[in-house]
Amino acid sequence: MELREPRLYAPAEDGKGAVLLALRDPATGALTFPRSPHAAPGQEEVELDGKAALLACITLHQPVLPGVVPPLVVARLQLDAGLVVDGVLVGTAEPPPGTRMRAVLVEQDGALDCRFQALA
Protein backbone atom coordinates (compact mmCIF):
# COMPACT_ATOMS: atom_id res chain seq x y z
CA MET A 1 0.00 0.00 0.00
CA GLU A 2 1.27 3.47 -0.87
CA LEU A 3 2.07 6.25 1.57
CA ARG A 4 -0.29 9.22 1.29
CA GLU A 5 2.51 11.73 2.04
CA PRO A 6 5.88 10.04 1.32
CA ARG A 7 7.75 13.34 1.69
CA LEU A 8 6.65 13.52 5.36
CA TYR A 9 7.02 10.01 6.75
CA ALA A 10 8.18 6.46 6.03
CA PRO A 11 7.78 3.03 7.64
CA ALA A 12 10.07 2.42 10.62
CA GLU A 13 12.60 -0.41 10.31
CA ASP A 14 10.86 -2.37 13.08
CA GLY A 15 7.72 -2.52 10.94
CA LYS A 16 5.57 -1.24 13.81
CA GLY A 17 5.84 2.51 13.55
CA ALA A 18 6.69 5.41 11.30
CA VAL A 19 9.66 7.74 11.07
CA LEU A 20 9.30 11.43 10.31
CA LEU A 21 11.51 12.82 7.53
CA ALA A 22 13.35 15.96 8.66
CA LEU A 23 16.42 18.06 7.90
CA ARG A 24 19.31 18.82 10.28
CA ASP A 25 21.66 21.77 10.03
CA PRO A 26 25.13 20.18 10.51
CA ALA A 27 26.55 23.41 11.93
CA THR A 28 23.92 23.96 14.64
CA GLY A 29 22.03 20.67 14.90
CA ALA A 30 18.75 22.54 14.36
CA LEU A 31 15.97 20.38 12.94
CA THR A 32 13.37 21.27 10.32
CA PHE A 33 10.16 19.29 9.86
CA PRO A 34 8.78 18.84 7.33
CA ARG A 35 11.70 18.82 4.91
CA SER A 36 11.64 21.89 2.72
CA PRO A 37 12.97 22.32 -0.82
CA HIS A 38 13.76 25.90 0.22
CA ALA A 39 16.07 24.94 3.09
CA ALA A 40 19.57 26.36 3.28
CA PRO A 41 22.20 24.40 1.32
CA GLY A 42 24.06 21.64 3.15
CA GLN A 43 21.16 20.37 5.26
CA GLU A 44 21.34 16.68 6.15
CA GLU A 45 18.31 14.44 5.64
CA VAL A 46 17.47 12.63 8.89
CA GLU A 47 14.76 10.30 10.14
CA LEU A 48 13.13 11.07 13.50
CA ASP A 49 11.82 8.04 15.40
CA GLY A 50 8.32 9.51 15.85
CA LYS A 51 8.27 9.14 19.64
CA ALA A 52 6.69 12.08 21.42
CA ALA A 53 4.92 13.42 24.48
CA LEU A 54 1.35 14.64 24.07
CA LEU A 55 1.06 18.33 24.94
CA ALA A 56 -2.65 18.86 24.18
CA CYS A 57 -5.44 17.46 22.05
CA ILE A 58 -8.98 18.24 21.00
CA THR A 59 -11.72 16.33 19.24
CA LEU A 60 -13.10 17.84 16.03
CA HIS A 61 -16.78 17.09 15.53
CA GLN A 62 -17.22 19.05 12.29
CA PRO A 63 -15.50 18.38 8.95
CA VAL A 64 -12.65 20.85 8.47
CA LEU A 65 -11.13 19.56 5.23
CA PRO A 66 -12.39 17.44 2.34
CA GLY A 67 -11.88 13.77 3.14
CA VAL A 68 -11.56 14.36 6.88
CA VAL A 69 -14.34 12.46 8.62
CA PRO A 70 -15.19 13.51 12.18
CA PRO A 71 -14.84 12.75 14.98
CA LEU A 72 -11.08 13.22 14.77
CA VAL A 73 -8.60 13.91 17.56
CA VAL A 74 -5.92 16.43 16.61
CA ALA A 75 -2.94 16.93 18.88
CA ARG A 76 0.12 19.01 19.58
CA LEU A 77 3.09 16.80 20.40
CA GLN A 78 6.68 17.37 21.42
CA LEU A 79 8.91 14.92 19.61
CA ASP A 80 11.75 13.38 21.59
CA ALA A 81 14.03 15.15 19.10
CA GLY A 82 12.71 18.48 20.49
CA LEU A 83 10.40 19.71 17.73
CA VAL A 84 6.76 20.51 18.46
CA VAL A 85 4.42 19.20 15.75
CA ASP A 86 0.71 18.85 15.14
CA GLY A 87 -0.72 15.44 14.34
CA VAL A 88 -3.79 13.23 14.37
CA LEU A 89 -4.31 10.52 16.98
CA VAL A 90 -5.48 6.97 16.37
CA GLY A 91 -9.05 6.53 17.64
CA THR A 92 -11.33 9.03 19.35
CA ALA A 93 -10.02 9.00 22.94
CA GLU A 94 -8.36 12.15 24.32
CA PRO A 95 -5.35 10.97 26.36
CA PRO A 96 -4.07 13.27 29.11
CA PRO A 97 -1.13 15.63 28.52
CA GLY A 98 2.19 13.90 29.00
CA THR A 99 1.04 10.61 27.47
CA ARG A 100 3.88 8.95 25.57
CA MET A 101 3.01 8.55 21.87
CA ARG A 102 4.52 7.01 18.77
CA ALA A 103 3.98 7.70 15.07
CA VAL A 104 2.33 4.75 13.32
CA LEU A 105 0.99 4.08 9.84
CA VAL A 106 -2.74 3.41 9.46
CA GLU A 107 -4.74 2.54 6.37
CA GLN A 108 -7.12 5.33 5.38
CA ASP A 109 -9.05 5.31 2.09
CA GLY A 110 -6.57 3.03 0.30
CA ALA A 111 -3.35 4.72 1.46
CA LEU A 112 -1.15 4.76 4.57
CA ASP A 113 -1.44 7.87 6.76
CA CYS A 114 0.72 8.84 9.71
CA ARG A 115 -1.09 8.98 13.06
CA PHE A 116 0.06 9.03 16.67
CA GLN A 117 -0.82 6.26 19.09
CA ALA A 118 -0.26 5.94 22.83
CA LEU A 119 2.64 3.67 23.75
CA ALA A 120 1.59 0.63 25.75
- The pLDDT value given to residue 4: 94
Which of 100, 105, 106 has its CA nearest to residue 118?
A: 100
Q: How many domains does the chain have?
A: 1
- The pLDDT value given to residue 12: 96
Average pLDDT by stretches of 10, the chain with 120 residues: 95 93 96 91 95 97 86 97 97 97 94 95
- The pLDDT value given to residue 109: 87
Identify whether 71 is preceded by a cis peptide bond (ω within 30 of 0): yes
Tell me the residue range of the domain where 91 lies: 9-118
What backbone torsions phi and psi does residue 5 show, to the nearest 5 degrees?
A: -130, 75
- The pLDDT value given to residue 23: 97
Q: Are the CB atoms for 57 and 106 separated by under 8 Å?
A: no
Q: Is 3 contained in some domain?
A: no
- The pLDDT value given to residue 65: 83
- The pLDDT value given to residue 37: 87
Q: Is 1 contained in some domain?
A: no
Q: Are the CB atoms for 87 and 103 separated by under 8 Å?
A: yes
Q: Is 59 contained in some domain?
A: yes
- The pLDDT value given to residue 8: 96
Q: Is 54 contained in some domain?
A: yes
Task: Mention every residue, 6+ apart, whose C-beta is less than 8 A from residue 21.
Answer: 7, 8, 9, 10, 33, 34, 35, 45, 46, 47, 48
